Amino acid sequence: MPSDGEPVLEVRGLRVAFGDDEVVHGVDLTIGAGERVALVGGSGSGKSTTALAVLGLLPAGGRVTAGSVRFRGEDITTAGPRRLRELRGAGIGLVPQDPLSGLDPVRRVGTQVATALRAHGLAESRRDARGRAVDLLAAAGIPEPARRAVQYPHELSGGMRQRVLVTIALACRPALLLADEPTSALDVTVARRILDLVGELTASSGTSLLLVTHDLGLAAERADRVVVLRDGRVAEAGGAARVLRSPTDDYTRALIDASPGLSPGAPRAVAGALPDTAPVLELDGVSHRFRLRGGHTVHALDDVSFAVAPGTTTAVVGESGSGKTTAARIALGLLAPSSGTVRLDGRETGVRSGLDRAERRTVAAAVQPVLQDPFGSLDPTWTVASLIAEPLRVHGHDGRGARVAELLDAVALPATTGRRVPRELSGGQRQRVAIARALALEPQLVVCDEAVSALDVLVQDQVLRLLEDLQERLGLAYLFISHDLGVVRRIADRVVVMRSGRVEEQGPAARVLEAPEAEYTRELLAAVPGRAA
Amino acid sequence: MTAVVTAASARQEPRGPRGARLRAALRADPAGAVGGALVVVLVLAGVGAPLLAPYPPTQVHFALPFQVPLTIGFPLGTDDLGRDLASRTLYGLRSSLQVAAIGVAVSVVLGTLLGLAAGWWRRLDPVIARITDVMLAFPFLVLAIGFAAVQGPSLGGAAISLGLAYVPHVALTVRAETLRVRATDFVLAARAMDARAPGMLLGHVLPNAASTIVVQATVILPQVVLGEAVLSFLGLGIQPPGSSLGIMLSDAQQYLYRTAWPAVLPGVVLALLCLAFNLVGDALRDRLDPATGARR
């Protein structure tokens, strides 16, 4: 154990380079015993690279070129692989980002916890290790730990898997726990519980915490001190409350302003005239059932009704499994509802395959999607110009070149972007291309399925601004599917809260977000990080 | 996340003049570069056989059988009928490459069509799966014998039966790629704009499966070359006096106790040809196939 006053981790002037490109330019970071420090920054800020360098786990091609990383006074940048292996796990525990790939899919979770214990000689026998593993799983709040311990990762939910990963990271009572975006793949309410768990366990064992996150709200809520990184340099460091209240750096200020959780603002005021206008899209008593093998049916949607008025945004909020993506597919006409009706502009459409070609074209032109993954939604083998022209080509429009230039301009991308391929663009630029493609057919309604949730806050802010601007200029209606209430508060006129395929609550954004009626909505609202700070 | 982004940018192709890029590629994968150079040399030798060969491949010199290499007039010696080994090997290489080109074309074209159809249309999948199962169960020799029985043994027949034998391999890989691409968001977006299936298959699926297909082709190619040698050796492929590496081996076998040269030459060329394509295939897989490691 470190003596009083000696920091657990001390990083001095750390520089990391990949090949000839330096990506971390002299980062200083100190973590005292039992202290919780958050490392915050957008993508490309060097936060993950710094964290990996601390563990000696830089990906191939990366190396520490200068500076030192001292763990309890020992310089680990010069330590050999054997010493590093001893330190990892026993000295420094890691909670990785993705609970899906963080666990070995072919081994029982109890065995995986036991392996960590045995690797560091903390259990005498296999049986002993297995018993201890069950105790640890119980301490991590896993119900029926003995039964869960003999299950495989795919049998556990995302939150449960992350609990197992936390258990493994803390199994050998490390002096430092390194959590790299531990909750970004989880639903908000689950994320909150995981962070509570990490907080409790580290506090009770006196473990220091290094939390790597892009979410300043979450950082401020969960850490004593915040270190803001920008382009591989420390932009600002200080007490969490101080940094939030009076940031000295412009970048920090921009992060705070862009974070929907930290600077909520008022929900959009709804024009009283809304109900009078005929909706663009109307789902009326729509249900969708999947039949599973063995005759079970799953209600992905159960008697769901909502509408989107022209020129407004209706947000559908819910956690994974709530049926919000199914609702989006039905709105796009790609999935047939099992019962109920879908009306577009007052006309009943149902599923597209039931329509003749001309009608299908009309529906396709009227409703277009912007999807979540800015990497997966653009064909990597196409240029930006051909991607944006794709809907025009499919619909046989002429003058595509001019229209593409117009669309690039509308989403504030330079005309030269047209010749590039998606790989050369940033996440935000890609999402702009996806928006341009969705706008090509001049739709009335754009279905945004988690369209900004893969972007970091600053980029998210820009894309949201673009969406707002386009709505105003083109009179677009949005069906905005999201799990992030902070974002929804900013963009939505109406909010539909969904859970397990049912509508829990719906109404004007101001009413639902300020005075929620359903218990579930209140729970969701409470889980938004940064509200407490 | 950050680390992924920076690592990817660090892995980007070095920029600069072509020479520098080539040198970088050579440093990164010397085995692949050697393979590539061998492929170029062998293909040029095969294509240029009529120009390079000192004699026609069938011209006999009954007075000079079994000459050893470096004999004046016959740089690589002669065989049992006094035919120039250098000329026969060059022409043999030429026909091996012809068979390889036809065989790979047959397997890639048919396999890709079947794979795309099976991956895209769920209803066709079980039908195509049964067809490929049946084809996998057929040894290509049986197929080739059948072909030879109907058509008479020939270069074309051997090439087509070898190509057919590898259709299932291509079909299975292309089917898997099609399933992968079909589930992507960009295909979903294309569906949402009411794109037709042929457009999506040609526009999205095929370009994204191309690298896998190319790698698969380089794996199949040396197997087809060997297959041709086997068929010709058994008398089911190219017919004497025409030359092929397999026929040369078959002819040389009878006189192996007298001299090994007529067998060594075609054997070495055959081995080099397979080695070269295997090396290139490995290099391409490393560079193109995301499944066996990160793109470099």
pLDDT tens-digit profile of A501-533? Answer: 899 999 898 888 888 899 999 888 888 776 544
pLDDT at B291 > cutoff 80? no
Q: In this complex, is the C-beta atom of B183 within 8 Å of any C-beta atom belonging to chain A?
A: no
Please answer yes or no on whether A97 and B191 come within 8 Å at the CB atom: no
Contacts of A518 (CB under 8 A, 6+ apart): A497, A504, A505
Q: Which residues of B touch A361 (CB under 8 A)?
A: 194
Q: Which residues of A touch B210 (CB under 8 A)?
A: 381
pLDDT at position A231, please? 86
Separation CA A262–CA A255 (nearest Å) = 9
Among A505, A61, A180, A154, smallest CA distance to B2 is for A180
pLDDT at position B4, please? 39
Taking residues A356-365, report their average pLDDT.
Answer: 82
pLDDT at position A456, please? 81
Q: Which residues of B touch A18 (CB under 8 A)?
A: 6-7, 9-10
Q: In this complex, is the C-beta atom of A61 within 8 Å of any C-beta atom belonging to chain B?
A: yes
Taking only residues 427 to 466 of chain A, the set having a beta carbon closer than 8 angstroms to any beta carbon of chain B reads 434, 437-438, 441
pLDDT at position B5, please? 39
Please answer yes or no on whether B9 and A18 come within 8 Å at the CB atom: yes
3-state SS, chain B, equals CHHHHHHHHHHCCCCCCHHHHHHHHHHHCHHHHHHHHHHHHHHHHHHCHHHHCCCCCCCCCCCCCCCCCCECCECCCECCCCCEHHHHHHHHHHHHHHHHHHHHHHHHHHHHHHHHHHHHCCCHHHHHHHHHHHHHHCCHHHHHHHHHHHHCCCHHHHHHHHHHHCHHHHHHHHHHHHHHHHCCHHHHHHHHCCCCHHHHHHHHHHHHHHHHHHHHHHHHHHHHHHHHHHHHHCCCCCCCCCCCHHHHHHHHHHCCCCCCHHHHHHHHHHHHHHHHHHHHHHHHHHHHCHHHCCCC
CB A509, CB A478: distance < 8 Å: no
DSSP tag of A381:
T
pLDDT at A478 > cutoff 90? yes
Among A514, A513, A512, A451, smallest CA distance to A481 is for A451
Half-sphere exposure of B140 (CA within 13 A, CB side): 24
Cα dihedral A513, A516, A521, A525 in deg (nearest 10): 50
Q: Distance between the two ends of chain B, CA-based, in angstroms?
A: 18
Separation CA B256–CA A142 (nearest Å) = 75
pLDDT at position A5, please? 65
pLDDT at position B114, please? 94
pLDDT tens profile A87-136: 887 888 888 877 777 888 888 988 998 988 888 877 778 888 888 899 88
Separation CA B17–CA B60 (nearest Å) = 51
Assign A486 a pLDDT band (cuts: 50, 70, 90).
confident
Assign B187 a pLDDT band (cuts: 50, 70, 90).
very high
Separation CA A45–CA B11 (nearest Å) = 18
Of A74-83, B3-12, B266-275, the one with minimum mean pLDDT is B3-12
Please answer yes or no on whether B185 and A395 come within 8 Å at the CB atom: no
pLDDT at A157 > cutoff 90? no
Q: In this complex, is the C-beta atom of B189 within 8 Å of any C-beta atom belonging to chain A?
A: yes
Amino acid identity of residue B249, one-letter, is: L
pLDDT at position A352, please? 63
Please answer yes or no on whether A18 and B186 come within 8 Å at the CB atom: no
pLDDT at position A21, please? 81
pLDDT at position A118, please? 86
Q: Where are the alpha helices (DSSP H) in A34-172?
A: 47-55, 81-90, 109-119, 126-139, 145-149, 158-170
Please answer yes or no on whether A361 and B11 come within 8 Å at the CB atom: no
What is the pLDDT of chain B when averaged over all its residues?
A: 82
Which of A511-520, B6-15, B26-35 has the highest average model confidence (pLDDT)? A511-520
pLDDT at position B2, please? 39
Q: Distance between the two ends of chain A, CA-based, in angstroms?
A: 32
pLDDT at position A531, please? 58
Assign A368 a pLDDT band (cuts: 50, 70, 90).
very high
Q: In this complex, is the C-beta atom of B13 within 8 Å of any C-beta atom belonging to chain A?
A: no
Q: In this complex, is the C-beta atom of A4 within 8 Å of any C-beta atom belonging to chain B?
A: no
- A394, A403, A429, A453, best to mutate vs chain B, most B CBs in 10 Å: A394
Please answer yes or no on whether A334 and B203 come within 8 Å at the CB atom: no
Between A2 and B270, residue with greater pLDDT: B270
Q: What ipTM does the predicted assembly reach?
A: 0.77
pLDDT at B1 > cutoff 80? no
Tokens representing residue A183 in the block: 């909750």
Separation CA B215–CA B242 (nearest Å) = 32
pLDDT at B80 > cutoff 90? no
pLDDT at B56 > cutoff 70? yes
Contacts of A384 (CB under 8 A, 6+ apart): A408, A413, A417, A418, A419, A420, A421, A422, A425, A433
pLDDT at position B57, please? 81
Please answer yes or no on whether A59 and B7 come within 8 Å at the CB atom: yes
Q: In this complex, is the C-beta atom of B291 within 8 Å of any C-beta atom belonging to chain A?
A: no
Please give the CATH topology (third level) of the domain spanning A281-380+443-526.
Rossmann fold (3.40.50)
Please answer yes or no on whether A61 and B190 come within 8 Å at the CB atom: no
Taking residues A185-197, report their average pLDDT.
Answer: 83
Instruction: Determine phi and psi for B253, rounding to 5 degrees.
Output: -55, -35
State which residue of chain B sits closest to A387, comparing Cα positions.
B186
Tokens representing residue A79 in the block: 């330590």
pLDDT at position B18, please? 57
Q: In this complex, is the C-beta atom of B191 within 8 Å of any C-beta atom belonging to chain A?
A: yes
Tokens representing residue A100 in the block: 């899906």
pLDDT tens profile A206-231: 889 999 988 888 888 888 999 998 88
pLDDT at A71 > cutoff 70? yes
pLDDT at B181 > cutoff 70? yes
Separation CA A71–CA A76 (nearest Å) = 7
Taking residues A60-68, report their average pLDDT.
Answer: 82
Taking residues B108-118, report their average pLDDT.
Answer: 94
pLDDT at position B293, please? 39
Q: Which residues of A touch B208 (CB under 8 A)?
A: 379-381
What is the pLDDT of chain A when averaged over all its residues?
A: 85
- A381, A397, A447, A449, best to mutate vs chain B, most B CBs in 10 Å: A381
Q: In this complex, is the C-beta atom of A368 within 8 Å of any C-beta atom belonging to chain B?
A: yes
Please answer yes or no on whether A373 and B185 come within 8 Å at the CB atom: yes
Assign B225 a pLDDT band (cuts: 50, 70, 90).
confident
Tokens representing residue A3 in the block: 């003596």
pLDDT at A199 > cutoff 50? yes
Tokens representing residue A379 in the block: 């064909």
SS3 A72: coil
CB B90, CB B52: distance < 8 Å: yes
Q: In this complex, is the C-beta atom of B137 within 8 Å of any C-beta atom belonging to chain A?
A: no
pLDDT at A454 > cutoff 70? yes
Separation CA A66–CA A232 (nearest Å) = 13
Please answer yes or no on whether B10 and A19 come within 8 Å at the CB atom: yes
Taking residues A246-273, report their average pLDDT.
Answer: 74
Tally C-beta pairs within 8 A across A and B. 103
Please answer yes or no on whether B203 and A379 come within 8 Å at the CB atom: yes
Taking residues A283-303, report their average pLDDT.
Answer: 81
Please answer yes or no on whether B3 and A437 come within 8 Å at the CB atom: no
Among A360, A361, A394, select the one facing B199 at the smallest CB separation: A394
Between A236 and A99, residue with greater pLDDT: A236
Please answer yes or no on whether B10 and A21 come within 8 Å at the CB atom: yes
Q: In this complex, is the C-beta atom of B12 within 8 Å of any C-beta atom belonging to chain A?
A: no
State which residue of chain A sits closest to B188, comparing Cα positions.
A377
Among A43, A332, A373, select the one facing B192 at the smallest CB separation: A332
pLDDT at A340 > cutoff 60? yes
pLDDT at B183 > cutoff 80? yes
Separation CA B192–CA B199 (nearest Å) = 13
